[in-house]
């Protein structure tokens, strides 16, 4: 199963011209990480669609909010150097967050994300990092099981935005039928 610009716009109508930019890189990333069935593609597109504001935000919008301020000094994220919280804020279609995740993702993708974290704002790396994250968290298995809430928890750490994520998922399942 593959995704086209037309199908993507039916699922994520606010993606606009970005849909055409992302389809080729989505195709490559999803194939590489086994996101190839209807259930997997639908769940993946719904989650990345929500996380990125339908491909409009490849970098976490920074307030900083109370939660974002809490990134600073979080050793579980590998943020051990002053300024890491802001430097390694969420980037990519699934927001890779924290120095430790940037290191792991960079190693997997062959990128120096520690010194050049902004690379995750480029469509090909934003997409590949999301597919890598998806794969390393066992989300294909959860998609196969239809456990969308558990997928959301693994991506978000909670269920923030669940209603929007589920609406996108429902639309993706319909469009990809």
Task: Tell me how far apart the alpha carbons of residues 48 and 8 are, in angstroms, rounded to a whole number.
Answer: 12
Task: Tell me how far apart the alpha carbons of residues 14 and 30 are, in angstroms, rounded to a whole number.
Answer: 21
Burial of residue 123 (number of CB atoms within 10 Å: 0-12, 13-18, 19+)? middle
Please give the angle made by the CA atoms of 28, 152 and 149, to the nearest 5 degrees.
Answer: 120
Q: Is 51 a catalytic residue?
A: yes
Beta bridge partners of 91: 59, 96
* 42 and 54 Cβ atoms separated by less than 8 Å: no
Task: Tell me how far apart the alpha carbons of residues 139 and 137 are, in angstroms, rounded to a whole number.
Answer: 6
User: Does residue 59 sit in helix, strand or coil?
Assistant: strand
Task: Tell me how far apart the alpha carbons of residues 169 and 159 are, in angstroms, rounded to a whole number.
Answer: 14
Residue from 51, 60, 107, 163 carrying the catalytic annotation? 51
Catalytic residues: 51
């Amino acid at each position: 199963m593959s995704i086209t610009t037309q199908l993507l716009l039916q699922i994520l109508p606010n993606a606009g011209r970005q849909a055409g930019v992302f389809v080729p890189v989505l195709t490559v990333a999803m194939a590489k990480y086994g996101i190839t069935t209807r259930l997997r593609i639908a769940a993946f597109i719904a989650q990345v669609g929500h996380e990125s504001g339908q491909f409009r935000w490849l970098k976490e919008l920074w307030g900083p909010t109370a939660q974002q301020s809490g990134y600073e000094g979080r050793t579980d994220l590998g943020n051990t150097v002053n300024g890491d919280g802001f430097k390694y804020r969420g980037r990519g279609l699934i927001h890779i967050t924290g120095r430790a995740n940037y290191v792991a993702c960079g190693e997997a993708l062959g990128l120096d994300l520690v010194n050049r974290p902004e690379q995750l704002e480029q469509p090909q790396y934003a997409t590949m990092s999301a597919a890598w994250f998806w794969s390393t968290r066992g989300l294909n298995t959860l998609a196969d099981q239809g456990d969308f809430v558990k997928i959301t928890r693994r991506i978000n750490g909670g269920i923030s935005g669940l209603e929007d994520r589920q609406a996108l998922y429902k639309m993706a399942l319909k469009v990809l039928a």
